[in-house]
Structure formats: C-alpha cells, structure tokens
Amino acid sequence: DEAGKTDDAAETRRRDHAEYALLPKLIDAWHDYKTAFRKARDSRNASLETTSDATIAVDDTLVGQSPDDDPAFGIGAMYILLLEGDTSGVLDAIAAVLGPDPQAKAFGNLWKMVDATIDNERGLASREPQYVLDCAWRACGKAEVWQRVALEHSAAGRAANDRLDAAMRLFSYASGGETEGVMAARTIGTFIEQVRSLAIEADSLARTAPIDQAVTLATPAGAAG
C-alpha cells in the first residue's frame, strides 16, 4: 500500500511538472495566434475598404476588434488552437497531464483525423459534399480494416459490414442518390444538417424492418473496436 501511494504521488508530481512545463508554451502559441489573426483581419479590412462591394459580411466573433476584447487563454482558446493553430502542442500537453488515459488517446486520434481531413480537402478541385466526405473517410483509415473484418462470420464481422453499409449510404446521400428527388446538398455544412435530420439508429445490429430514411451510424463507443 505504501509503495502504491508513493507511486501515485510520483505520478502526480510528474503530471504537475508536465503541465507547468507545457502551459507557458501553449499560452505563447495562443498569443501568437491572436496576433496573426488580428494582422490578417486588418489587412482584409483594408482591402475591403478599397472595393465598392458593400454586401460582403465579415465574421469577427472569433477574436475581438482590439486586444482588450480578445478571449483569455482557456478551454475555448485550446479548441481554437486545436483547429487552427498548434494542434500537436495542445495534444502533447493533454497527454503529458493525463498520461495513458484511453479518452485522451481517443481525443488525440480525433484531432489527428481532423487535421488529415483538412489536409486532404486542400487538394480538392471541387468541394461538393461527396468529395469532402471522401477526405474524412480516407483520414479515418477504417476502410481496409472493416473490409477485412466484415468477411468474418461473427458479431464483429456483422458490425464491420453494417459500418461499411452506413458509409456507403452516407456517400449516396452526399451525392443525392437517396434523397427521393430532393436536390443533393451543395455544401458539406448543408449535408451535415441533412444527415442530422434523418432518423438515426446508433449501434443497432438487430433491425426489425428496413427504414428508408434511416442511416445506421456507430457511436464512438461502438466504433472503438
């Protein structure tokens, strides 16, 4: 018991040290991001002032018009850095503090997939929903794994087969193939809203009847395998 307490105390000190070592770097990264954002915004505003197009709307809600209006470093700032700034730095800080926590690992994998999706999207000539969806699908890296497991005559095989079917159904919706005459969504945002409006069955392997307007999706817990 005493040895266990000693180990726990040592682990706590290690995490505290990691937090104090990485936190200043994250705060510096946040200040650098705000500075770069303000410079880009000022340059854009100056450019807009030289055009006669008064219909252009600019969203300045991310960072305020003056440094005093900028959000302080916190959870919101870390999410912004994850999406637009020092992704690896934030993930390293989380991993250093939480250690081998499965939720922290899953969170890190999620943002790595987001980064990969964004990188893939940059090379697109067209940003129609089916092409953006393909970027996310390739970033997930599940196609070959699920195809292999789907060949098994087991619960895992049936689950993998269902997930592949769900993916194919999503692609069909994205291209307008299952909208019953409704025009396919023109943007990925519209497509996401369209999918959210569908009837969703989560982690269901026992369907009692086919549902024409349903898409079966795996929750993070169900997709962990």
pLDDT digits (tens, 9 = 90+) for 22-40: 777 778 888 888 888 888 8
Pull the structure tokens for residue 51. Answer: 């055009």
Among the residues of 123-187, which ranges form H helices? 129-140, 143-149, 155-174
Task: With a cut of 90, say whether residue 220 has pLDDT above it.
Answer: no
* Selected residue with higher pLDDT from 223 and 86: 86
Region of poorest pLDDT, from 49-58, 96-105, 145-154: 49-58
pLDDT tens sequence across 132-168: 999 999 999 999 999 999 999 999 999 999 999 988 8
Cα pseudo-dihedral 37, 38, 43, 46, rounded to 10: 140
Residue type, 181: G
Nearest to 214 by CA among 203, 204, 199: 199
Q: What is the distance between the alpha carbons of residues 112 and 171, in angstroms, rounded to a whole number?
A: 22
Lowest mean pLDDT among 34-48, 67-81, 90-104: 67-81
The dihedrals phi and psi of 202, each to the nearest 5 degrees, come to: -100, 125
DSSP 105: H
